[in-house]
Amino acid sequence: MRKAGMKCILQSVVLALCAVVQLAFSSTGFAQGTQSVLRPTDTASPRDTLFSFIEKIDRTYAAAQVGDTALSTEFLDQAVRYLDMSAYPPRIQRYQREELALLMKEVLDRIDLPSRESVPGVADATGQSRETGILLGGERAADVTPIELWQIPKTNIRIYRVAEGSRAGEYLFAPDTVAQLGDWYSRIKDLPYREGATPNIYFAFALTPGRGINLERSETMPDWMTAVGFGGQTLWQGIALVLTLLLVTIGTRVVLRAGRRFDAKRAADLPDDKRYNWRFGLLAALLIVTPVLFITERFVDDFINITGVPMAFLGAALVLLGYVALAVLSFLAIGQVFELIVLGREFGPRSAKAQLLRLVGYFVGTFAVVIVILRAADDFGVPAVTMLAGFGVGGIAVSLAARETLMDLFGSFVIMIEGPYRLNDFVTIGSHSGTVVEIGVRSTKLRTADNLIISIPHSFISSNSVSNYGYRGARLINSVLRIHPDTPTDKITEFLELVRASLHDNPMVRNEGCLVNLQMPGAGYLEVLLYFYVQVAAWADFVGAREQIMLKILECAKQAGVEMAPTQTIEASAVATSEGPVAAIKPG
């Protein structure tokens, strides 16, 4: 018994795979006949709509009896146009249009229809002659009130006149009637057919792989394969669906994982100064995954032919995943375009200009994501105005919840446009000082003197003063030399001239504004002012240059015979006063 069950399952797997291969290379494919879509329908009156619809389904059934799926598809597409499915979103309309038409026929085949003559024709419905289009009875067109709604006697099946839109003036099965077809069919499916019906046409449609109906194929299937199971689907459909989803899931995970690993390996192999935000692996993976998700949805609907609520749920899930992948792909592709711009302009990967371009790329990518979301919403029947209003309310909520983050982003624009500092500049921001090691989208990182990394939000930077020691081209030396007070005047003059000459000949000293002058004498010394700029930016370079300059000045003092003033010895002793002890200073 167990072996027989396994054998049946293996046979169903093989048959399902054969059906998949056959359908994948069949001529019908995903395409729909444009002629059948463009062919006009006879909807000038309730009579034309009712009996023309029945005629189209009868022709569909006749084509299905001889195995002509292409012709049955063409007639079925024409029959669909007699239904007003405006109550369904566009995506759900695509899933259920054929089965709704067939369910309508199943219901009509089980009720007593009125005679053709008793159903309002063109003359009764609109007062016009079918042959000439002229109003009968001499009435003016403005005085004629067309029939707005007609109902099949003793039923809730209604045909109404469309009031607006591209099909205004046509008579179609009303939206509320179309919306109840599934419930009506579940109630009457066990009732007998009337004479001239198309028996089991909906069941044959559900059994036929691909689009259209093939009664020969459905009738030759083994009974165990046509057994209806979960969700109203047959065994072969369930097996084909499981195999398809399993293959797509495994393939998607493998492709995405391979793309991420490629990016991680590439980033690890690059040095820090060449490590741009490359995501080529993930981009290539999404270029594969995105169309696969949409193709899978078409395959499940058109080839495996899943019907009813399972198809609506599954198809919507696959399409939503496809739109999510498309949104991520759009955002990532735009980001990589801006990354290529950064590389082409030879900006450093962590420079402010590179981050500014990336920030612009983020906003452009976000705009592309919004477009994808609006397209998906329209596909599922959500108006763009409603979505934009939702974005507005959601934007306010997000702005309140992420106020600090938004302030950081706006601060990034200010910092990156004005450029108050660059990489490797030594800056003081508020109470923080250090070397700029990274300029990010939300914050700037400083390396302090004790080798700590401090991340400062751009909102804080934009509202505080920034002292940039890296932008100045020169550093000021404003100091004094104290020489012995008994130094002769001629030696002082010679010393000053030697110092001026040494500074003038030094390429690191700026000649403009260079001052070397004797100042007013102090208590026990003569003071010489040194005021000039050293043309170095880095602090380490400045310290070294200052050392060389001071050594040269000491040589000038030795050459001129000038002695530096003696240092003072400060002795502190306690002196009692009425207000307590104080320190008394004695020069040594």
- Confidence class of residue 87 from pLDDT cuts 50, 70 and 90? confident
Give the whole-angstrom CA distance, residue 373 versus residue 306. 26
Q: Name the percent of the chain in helix, strand, coil, to the closest 5.
A: 55, 15, 30
What's the gap between Cα 259 and its chain centre? 18
For residue 67, what pLDDT is reported? 82
Residue 294's pLDDT is 92
What is the average pLDDT across 308-324? 87
pLDDT greater at residue 191 or residue 16: 191
pLDDT at 33 over 60: no
Q: What is the pLDDT of residue 30?
A: 35
**Domain 414-468, CATH 3.40.50.10860 — does that match?**
no
Does 10 have pLDDT greater than 70? no
547-578 pLDDT, tens digit per residue, is: 999 899 999 988 988 888 775 443 433 344 34
What is the model's pLDDT at position 31? 37
Show Cβ contacts of residue 354 under 8 Å, excluding neighbours closer than 6 positions.
342, 347, 348
Residue 497: the pLDDT is 92
Q: What angle separates helix 90-108 from helix 69-80, to the nearest 10 degrees?
A: 100
CA dist 497 and 516 (Å) reads 9
Please, which pLDDT band fits residue 388 given cuts at 50, 70 and 90? Answer: low
Tokens at 74, concatenated? 């063409």
pLDDT for 132? 40
The residue-averaged pLDDT of 444-451 equals 85
Distance of alpha carbon 93 from alpha carbon 472, whole angstroms: 69
500 vs 497: CA distance, rounded Å: 5
Q: 212 in helix, strand or coil?
A: coil
Q: What proportion of the chain, given as a percentage, has pLDDT over 90? A: 19
Which tokens in the block code for residue 285? Answer: 């993976």
Mean pLDDT comparison of 275-284, 388-397, 406-415, 475-484, highest-scoring range: 475-484
Report the predicted TM-score, pTM, of the whole model to 2 decimal places.
Answer: 0.59
Average pLDDT on 239-258 reads 92
- Mean pLDDT for 322-339 is 89
pLDDT above 90 for 90: no
Q: How far apart are CA 274 and CA 288, in angstroms?
A: 28
Give dist(CA 472, CA 493) in Å, integer. 33
Q: How confident is the model at residue 222 (pLDDT cuts 50, 70, 90)?
A: low
**How far apart (Å, rounded) are the C-alpha atoms in residues 587 and 515?**
31
CA neighbor of 156 nearest in space, from 176, 136, 141: 176
What string of H, E and C letters represents the secondary structure of 383-441? Answer: CHHHHHHHHHHHHHHHHHHCHHHHHHHHHHHHHHHHCCCCCCCEEEECCEEEEEEEECC
* CB contact at 8 A, 460 and 408: no
Query: What is the SS3 string spanning 495-531?
Result: HHHHHHHHHHHCCCEEEEEEEEEECCCECCEEEEEEE
b/e code 392-424 from CB counts within 10 Å (16+ = b): eeeeeeeeeeeeeeebbbebbeebbeeebbbbe
pLDDT at residue 522 greater than cutoff 70: yes
Of the listed ranges 381-385, 387-391, 469-473, 484-488, the one predicted with least confidence? 387-391
Ranking 72-86, 302-316, 560-574 by mean pLDDT, the lowest is 560-574
**Reported confidence tier of residue 144, pLDDT bands at 50, 70, 90:** low
- pLDDT score of 577: 39
Q: What CATH class has 475-560?
A: alpha beta
Closest CA to 436 of 395, 473, 467: 467
What are the φ/ψ torsions at residue 524 (nearest 5 degrees)?
A: 90, 20
Q: Per-residue confidence at 207, pLDDT binned at 50, 70, 90?
A: confident
pLDDT at residue 131, as a whole number: 44
In order of 264, 267, 421, 578, the CA distances from 275 in angstroms are 11, 6, 21, 72
Is residue 247 predicted with pLDDT exceeding 90? Answer: yes
Q: Please tell me the least confidently modeled range out of 30-39, 193-202, 275-284, 337-346.
A: 30-39
Domain boundaries, the chain: 32-220, 237-401, 414-468, 475-560
Tokens of 320: 């939503």
Tell me the pLDDT band of 29, cut-offs 50, 70 and 90.
Answer: very low
Burial (CB count within 10 angstroms: exposed 0-12, middle 13-18, buried 19+), residue 177: buried
Q: Strands across the sheet with 453-457, in order?
A: 453-457, 443-447, 432-439, 426-429, 466-468
Residue 455 is predicted with a pLDDT of: 86
Residue 315 reports pLDDT greater than 50: yes
Residue 82 — pLDDT band, cuts 50, 70, 90?
A: very high
User: Residues 568, 587: contact at Cβ < 8 Å?
Assistant: yes
pLDDT digits 0-9 by tens, 342-387: 877 777 666 667 777 777 888 888 889 888 888 888 888 777 665 5
Residue 159 three-state SS: strand
CA distances from 136 to 133, 140, 247, 303 (A): 9, 9, 64, 50
Average pLDDT rounded to a whole number, residues 431-443: 80
Q: Give the rounded percent of residues in the chain with a pLDDT score beyond 70.
A: 74
Average pLDDT, whole number, for the chain?
77
Task: Please say if the pLDDT value at position 518 is more than 60.
Answer: yes
Cβ-based neighbour number of residue 482 at 10 Å: 16
- Supply the pLDDT for residue 285: 92
Residue 456 backbone class (left: φ over 0; alpha: ψ -120 to 50; beta: rest): beta
**If residue 93 lies in a helix (H) or strand (E), which one and from where to where?**
helix 90-108
Q: Is the pLDDT of residue 579 over 70?
A: no
pLDDT at position 432 is 84
Higher pLDDT, 147 or 397: 147
Once rounded to an integer, what is the mean pLDDT over residues 286-312? 87
Question: Could you tell me where the DSSP H helices lie in 109-234?
Answer: 122-126, 175-179, 181-188, 201-207, 215-220
